């Protein structure tokens, strides 16, 4: 794909060519057996809306502009097509895909997702970010990698050193582009894209779509497929019904099962209740490692810490609260859409909260 200015396209019509509204399973999306096997092992049963709409055009090599929030499954939406389109039997050489992300934490999370999905393909994935010894990055780049997941500043540093060469790139992904611009990375992104081949596939994901994101898309995407994954709106004046679901899951598989439920449900904000402080801390760390914006709340925290956590949840900078039953009593969170009991509650009053 060239980086010529893009024409303005309407949002994707689910009945238009290239979007399969009958794709109720990953097998319907044309993914190779190795990827399907990895998804099955991870407990993925069906694609989320962003995955259903994004994977087919990305497999076809189209540029894509997607508006989707964290937790909708968008990492798999771009990682699976990139892995499928990766040339087989590569040894050495420059990366074929570059994923730019705003933070080192996200660089680690996205690279781990690539590893999980591409484990049977032998995909060589390297996270590049500041704050880690550069020697390891230099050695890996010298040996050759397939996918680089990087923060813009560190990627540009390697480009300036001549250790990250982009001549072989087939795809560039800008993940959480609005956050990268908010953090002041606009010039770095422009400089990186100038070093990338003109003929490439460019993918841009953003939780919001301000005019500066639209301007970036016009400049760097060619005839992009446009996808917007919104949240279901409650009709004014209606009292929402409470849908209850139960899942029987082995303890070792609970974190993965919780992540999958959150991916499919896409809550605006959710609370997960645990029985102990230790489990709250462990699960919070696990969910943050999986890419969710999770915060812990339990009796071992000071009031100032609790207030700070609740402030982040109400402001939308966190969307998952992991809490003990006692610590979360009396909470009032207007945007809360989902409540999860990580274990069977010990009493009925604990279940209804």
Residue range(s) defining the domain that contains residue 333: 251-352
Residues 169 and 261 in one domain: no
Which residue do the tokens 């690539």 mark?
114
Using 50, 70 and 90 to split pLDDT, how confident is the model at 7?
Answer: very low
Pick from 65, 56, 46, 59: nearest CA to 17: 56
Distance CA 332, CA 7 (A): 45
Strand partners, 125: 147
Using 50, 70 and 90 to split pLDDT, how confident is the model at 67?
Answer: very high
- Is 3 inside any structural domain? no
- Is 5 inside any structural domain? no
CA end-to-end distance (rounded Å), the chain? 53
Residues 6+ apart with CB under 8 A from 89: none
Compute, in degrees rounded to 10, the torsion defined by CA atoms 275, 278, 281, 285. Answer: -110
Residues 260 and 207 in one domain: no
pLDDT above 50: residue 17: no
Domain count along the chain:
2
Distance CA 223, CA 109 (A): 30
- Is 241 inside any structural domain? no
State the average pLDDT over residues 234-245: 65
- Is 237 inside any structural domain? no
Strands of the sheet with 320-324, listed across from one edge? 294-297, 320-324, 270-274, 338-341
Note whether 193 and 172 are within 8 A (CB): yes
Which residue do the tokens 């999370």 mark?
109
Distance CA 260, CA 150 (A): 25
In the structure encoding, which two tokens stand for residue 147, read together?
């996918």
Residues 288 and 328 in one domain: yes
Q: pTM to 2 decimals?
A: 0.64
Residues 99 and 218 in one domain: yes
Final residue before a domain boundary, out of 197, 228, 259:
228
Phi–psi pair at 188, nearest 5 degrees: -60, -45
- List, in sequence order, every beta strand (DSSP E) within 207-319: 225-228, 270-274, 294-297
Category of 144 on φ-ψ map: left (φ > 0), alpha (ψ -120 to 50) or beta: left
Residues 82 and 162 in one domain: yes
Q: What is the pLDDT of residues 91-103, one digit of tens each?
A: 778 999 999 998 8
Using 50, 70 and 90 to split pLDDT, how confident is the model at 14?
Answer: very low
Instruction: Specify the range with the lowest mean pLDDT, choosing from 1-15, 38-52, 311-325.
Output: 1-15
- Is 113 inside any structural domain? yes
Residues 275 and 221 in one domain: no
Residues 123 and 173 in one domain: yes
Looking at residue 19, its pLDDT comes to 45
User: What is the number of other CB atoms lying within 10 angstroms of the CB of residue 346?
Assistant: 10
Residues 102 and 220 in one domain: yes
Counting residues of the chain whose pLDDT is more than 90, the rounded percentage is 50
- Is 234 inside any structural domain? no
Residues 171 and 130 in one domain: yes
- Is 91 inside any structural domain? yes
Residues 6+ apart with CB under 8 A from 98: 147, 148, 150, 155, 166, 169, 171, 172, 173, 192, 196
Residues 59 and 165 in one domain: yes
Distance CA 191, CA 1 (A): 18
Average pLDDT over the chain reads 85
Distance CA 307, CA 297 (A): 10
Strand partners, 127: 149
Note whether 266 and 47 are within 8 A (CB): no
Rg (CA), the chain: 21
State the CATH number of the domain containing residue 215.
3.40.50.300
User: What is the number of other CB atoms lying within 10 angstroms of the CB of residue 28?
Assistant: 15
pLDDT above 50: residue 16: no
- Is 198 inside any structural domain? yes
Residues 159 and 36 in one domain: yes
For 265, the 3-state DSSP assignment is helix
Mark 149-182 as b/e (b = at least 16 C-beta within 10 Å): bbbbebbbbbbeeeebebeebbbbbbbbbbbbbe
Distance CA 326, CA 207 (A): 33
Residues 173 and 288 in one domain: no
- What does the angle CA 86 – CA 88 – CA 93 come to, to the nearest 5 degrees? 75
Looking at residue 291, its pLDDT comes to 80
Which residue do the tokens 């919780």 mark?
258
């Amino acid at each position: 794909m060239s980086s010529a200015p893009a024409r303005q396209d309407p949002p994707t019509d689910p009945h238009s060519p290239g979007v399969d509204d009958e794709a109720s399973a990953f097998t319907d999306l044309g993914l190779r057996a190795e990827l399907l096997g990895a998804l099955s092992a991870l407990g993925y049963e069906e694609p989320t809306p962003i995955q259903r709409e994004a994977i087919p055009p990305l497999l076809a090599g189209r540029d894509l502009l997607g508006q989707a929030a964290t937790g909708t499954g968008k990492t798999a939406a771009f990682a699976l097509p990139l892995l499928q389109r990766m040339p087989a039997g590569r040894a050495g050489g420059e990366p074929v895909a570059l994923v730019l992300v705003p933070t080192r934490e996200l660089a680690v999370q996205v690279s781990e997702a690539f590893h999980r999905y591409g484990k049977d393909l032998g995909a060589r994935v390297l996270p590049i970010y500041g704050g880690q010894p550069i020697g390891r990055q230099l050695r890996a780049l010298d040996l050759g990698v397939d996918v680089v997941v990087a923060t813009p500043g560190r990627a540009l540093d390697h480009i300036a050193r001549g250790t990250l060469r982009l001549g072989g790139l087939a795809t560039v992904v800008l993940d959480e582009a609005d956050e990268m611009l908010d953090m002041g990375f606009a010039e770095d992104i422009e400089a990186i894209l100038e070093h990338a081949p003109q003929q490439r596939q460019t993918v841009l994901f953003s939780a919001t779509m301000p005019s500066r994101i639209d301007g970036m898309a016009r400049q760097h995407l060619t005839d992009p497929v446009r996808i917007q994954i919104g949240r279901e709106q409650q009709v004014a004046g209606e009292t929402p019904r409470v849908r209850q679901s139960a899942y029987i899951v082995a303890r070792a598989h609970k974190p993965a099962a919780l992540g999958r439920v959150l991916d499919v449900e896409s809550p605006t904000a959710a609370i997960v209740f645990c029985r102990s402080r230790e489990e709250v801390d462990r699960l919070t760390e696990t969910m943050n490692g999986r890419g969710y914006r999770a915060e812990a709340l339990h009796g071992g925290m000071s009031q100032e810490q609790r207030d700070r956590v609740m402030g982040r949840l109400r402001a939308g900078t966190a969307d998952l609260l992991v809490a003990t039953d006692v610590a979360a009593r009396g909470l009032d969170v207007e945007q809360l859409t989902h409540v999860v009991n990580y274990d069977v509650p010990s009493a009925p009053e604990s279940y209804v909260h």
